[in-house]
Amino acid sequence: MAQRSERQMQQLELAEQVMGGCPGGFRLPPDQAIVVQRGLGSKVWDIDGREFIDYLLGSGPMLIGHAHPAVVEAVQHQASLGSTFYTLNEPAIELADRLVSAIPCAQSVKYVSTGTEATLHALRIARTFTGRPLILKFEGGFHGVHDYSMMSSMSPRQTEYPKPIPDSHGIPAALEADVLVSRWNDIEMTERILTEYHGKIAAVICEPLQRALIPAPGFMQALRELTLRSDTLLIFDEIVTGFRLAYGGAQEKYGVVPDLATYGKAIAGGYPLAAIGGRREIMDVTRPERRGKEPLAHLGGTMNGNPLAASAGLATLNILNQDGVYEQLYRIPELLKQGLRDIAEKHGETIQIAGEGPVFQIFFTDAEPGDYPAVLQSDRARARQFGLNLIDEGLFLNPGEKFYVSLAHDEDDVQKTLEAADAAMSRLSA
């Protein structure tokens, strides 16, 4: 990587002092850390003016690209009218109507500001509606950073099913009794757990595309059948897959409709907004007039449904609903994936590329992983080093993790990315 300016180094040092070096959990090594100044389309630039092809996309929200003119115009217009009111506003109402129309399971939606809040409230809604205490999730599935979700999502070792492994210190040990864990794509294990804890499980929550691991043929359909048979709610965490795999998300892509679903990232074009959607009878447990009369799943937040984010969301969905959008969102990644496979073969590397369309991940392993234990068995250190090499070659991404591709990425980006990958793979194999 090119030498960074004194200004950038000063900003990095200041960030180290006042915010622990990063705003969240994503942090590059000190010799590769940058301060991003702006983004446009498929690119970001650091404060030294260096250009990177962006496959991080803000961890996924920038599905139509950075600073899309339609989103910029919508937000600027709304900003002149007011940024938030803590009450009903036209953009929020209109976006809710669009979400209900697009999402197969949604008859009603509620807003929050982050994906973590969305899954937290979805679980609370499920417990309230069913009167049951337990949640069943899948090992390796990520549902945000609240205490109930940080169980067996990123453990360095395999789970002893169905007992969860907390992913962070500071999580009360008592919560472990409320979360059960099954193995992704293992319908027999999932059925055994549902049978053993019959009448106690409020919901099964899953990412329909678990990180980048596609569901095995028939798995989602069997999971839907099992949950219906046991009167257990099925929650799709579509924070990543929503409006990315298809306009109707994973529900459209896989043809399975859950009881509840959570949305975030792409639905607001880079602004903080998330949502929970589901059947009206389930969502009605959040209605505030139930307090003191009927079971109530309290849901609130200062910025919920703010018109700035909702305006950005409306502009984003207008773009995504145009003809040819999803053909483009699948075509460019396929060019990338095939090129990456060819480069790996050229350098004698064995890789698997898992994922769907505009979200994929490279694994250094002999067979495509179908569950989290297989991910653990892959050469994750090699995958991370390849990612770090790619950053040196002018790409921006989370090393060893998912690639996000936007509507703004084009054939020129593909060519430059494959040239970078060739150089990065050459260094890896040296």
The CA distance from 318 to 71, in Å, is: 10
Task: Determine the Cα angle at 372 with ends 371 and 377, to 5°.
Answer: 105
Q: Which residues contact 8 (CB under 8 A, 6 or more apart)?
A: 34, 35, 46, 47, 48
Q: What is the pLDDT of residues 171-217, one digit of tens each?
A: 999 999 999 999 999 999 999 999 999 999 999 999 999 999 999 99
- What is the per-residue pLDDT for 89? 98
Tokens (6 digits) for 414 = 């593909």
Q: What is the pLDDT of residues 39-71, one digit of tens each?
A: 999 999 999 999 999 999 999 999 999 999 999
- What is the per-residue pLDDT for 24? 83
Cβ–Cβ contacts within 10 Å for residue 172, how many?
A: 8
**C-alpha torsion angle, residues 90, 95, 98, 100 (rounded to 10):** -100
Omega cis (within 30) before 23: no
The CA distance from 280 to 170, in Å, is: 35
Give the residue from 255, 235, 251, 259 showing the smallest Cα distance to 144: 235
User: What domains can be seen in the chain, in order of their start residue?
Assistant: 6-67+324-429 (3.90.1150.10), 69-320 (3.40.640.10)
Give the residue from 63, 45, 43 showing the smallest Cα distance to 53: 43
Give the pLDDT band (50/70/90) at residue 325.
very high
Q: What is the pLDDT of residues 291-318, one digit of tens each?
A: 999 999 999 999 999 999 999 999 999 9
Give the residue from 50, 44, 42 showing the smallest Cα distance to 2: 50
The CA distance from 94 to 400, in Å, is: 39
Give the residue from 115, 126, 298, 88 showing the smallest Cα distance to 202: 126
Give the pLDDT band (50/70/90) at residue 429.
confident
Tokens (6 digits) for 24 = 């969240």
Q: What is the pLDDT of residues 85-134, one digit of tens each?
A: 999 999 999 999 999 999 999 999 999 999 999 999 999 999 999 999 99
Conformational region of residue 333, where left means phi above 0, alpha means psi within -120 to 50, and beta covers everything else = alpha
pLDDT at 25 over 90: no
Q: What is the pLDDT of residues 209-260, one digit of tens each?
A: 999 999 999 999 999 999 999 999 999 999 999 999 999 999 999 999 999 9
pLDDT at 1 over 80: no
0.85 exceeded by the pTM?
A: yes
